[in-house]
Amino acid sequence: MDFQLQDTVVLVTGASRGLGAAMAVTLAEEGATVVAAARSKDSLDDVAARGQGRISVEVVDMRDETAVSGLVDSVVARHGRIDALVNNAGIAAAGTFAEQDPQVWKDTMTVNVIAPMLLAQAAGRKMIEQGHGRIVNIASTTGVRGKPHLVGYSASKGAVVRMTEALAAEWAAKNVQVNCIAPGAFATDAQKAVLESPDLLQRRVAKIPARRMADAAELMPLVCLLVSASSPFTTGAVFVVDGGESGKL
Q: What residues are annotated to the active site?
A: 153
CB 177 within 8 A of CB 135: yes
**What is the number of alpha carbons within 13 Å of residue 53 lying toward its C-beta?**
1
Closest by Cα among 88, 20, 85, 11 to 50: 20
SS3 assignment for the chain: CCCCCCCCEEEEECCCCHHHHHHHHHHHHCCCEEEEEECCHHHHHHHHHCCCCCEEEEECCCCCHHHHHCHHHHHHHHHCCCCEEEECCCCCCCCCHHHCCHHHHHHHHHHHHHHHHHHHHHHHHHHHHHCCEEEEEECCHHHCCCCCCCHHHHHHHHHHHHHHHHHHHHHHHHCEEEEEEEECCECCHHHHHHHCCHHHHHHHHHCCCCCCCECHHHCHHHHHHHHCCCCCCCCCCEEEECCCCCCCC
How many angstroms separate the CA atoms of 138 and 86, rounded? 7
